[in-house]
């Protein structure tokens, strides 16, 4: 089990190989369908984004509400392919990592190689377990989207697997 810290350096990304089990610590941002659509539309219009994505890792998640006394509700990954349409534009703007579940299309993989980006898979459906590694949550943008807002997650030993590395090697079964 490799321990890695955020933000990811290019050297750290080089060390990550498809199939590696990792524990991630540090600060990541979140975003799923609706937030991606908004970010993409801003990029299309060449406008400023409401959050900094350069050098960041984004987690595709829409958490359940937190019970009193919990930092966050269950928060497992959502299917990544729905973000494929928007992803290359975000990677061109400097996003360095993605966490989700399931397959990516070839355009995303090509853009990952070009921009030196890594894609992690978290375990879909292990939401209560994963939420244990999320220590602090803050809304960064698009609060009106509720669960689909962009949050900042402070994580400690967040469990994931390198699904596609920056060289384009994949561990996902075909």
Partner 1 sequence: MEIRKINSSVITDTVKKLFMDMNYFIGEDILTALKNAEETEISPTGKSVLAQLIENHKIAAEEEVPICQDTGMAVLFVEYGDKVVIENGSFEEAVQEGIRRAYIDGYLRKSVVTDPVFDRVNTKDNTPAIIYTSIVPGDKIKILAGCKGFGSENMSSIKMLTPSAGIEGVKKFILDTVKYAGPNPCPPVVVGVGIGGTFEKAAMLAKKATLRPIDTKNPNERYAALEEELLTEINKMGFGPAGLGGINTAIGVNIETFPTHIAGMPVAVNICCHAARHKETEI
Count the residues of the shown chain that bind partner 1, applying the rule CB under 8 A: 40
CB of 142 to partner 1, least distance (A): 12
* Strand 134-141, strand 150-164: pairing: antiparallel
Could you give the C-alpha distances from 41 to 68, 70, 86, in angstroms and in order?
36, 34, 9
CA distance 105 to 136: 32
Triad 173, 83, 162: Cα angle to 5°: 40
CB of 54 to partner 1, least distance (A): 27
CA distance 15 to 20: 10
Restricted to residues 1-60, the positions that interact with partner 1 (CB under 8 A) are: 19, 21, 34
Judged by CB under 8 A, does residue 71 bind partner 1?
Answer: no
Neighbouring-strand partners of residue 160: 22
Nearer to partner 1, 52 or 129 (CB): 129
Nearer to partner 1, 89 or 126 (CB): 126
Binding test (CB under 8 A) with partner 1, winner from 26, 55, 124, 168: 124
Binding test (CB under 8 A) with partner 1, winner from 121, 149, 150, 164: 121
């Amino acid at each position: 089990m490799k321990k890695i810290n955020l933000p990811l350096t290019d050297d750290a990304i080089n060390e990550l190989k498809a199939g590696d089990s990792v524990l991630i610590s540090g600060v990541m941002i979140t975003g799923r369908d609706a937030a991606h659509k908004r970010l993409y539309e801003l990029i299309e219009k060449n406008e400023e984004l409401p959050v900094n994505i350069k050098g960041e890792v984004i987690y595709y998640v829409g958490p359940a509400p937190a019970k009193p006394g919990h930092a966050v509700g269950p928060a497992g990954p959502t299917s990544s392919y729905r973000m494929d349409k928007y992803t290359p534009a975000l990677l061109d703007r400097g996003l360095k990592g993605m966490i989700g579940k399931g397959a990516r299309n070839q355009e995303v993989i090509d853009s990952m190689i070009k921009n030196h980006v890594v894609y992690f898979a978290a375990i879909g459906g292990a939401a209560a377990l994963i939420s244990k590694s999320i220590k602090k949550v803050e809304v960064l943008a698009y609060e009106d989207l509720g669960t689909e807002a962009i949050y900042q997650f402070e994580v400690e030993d967040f469990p994931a697997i390198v699904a596609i590395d920056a060289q384009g090697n994949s561990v996902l079964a075909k």
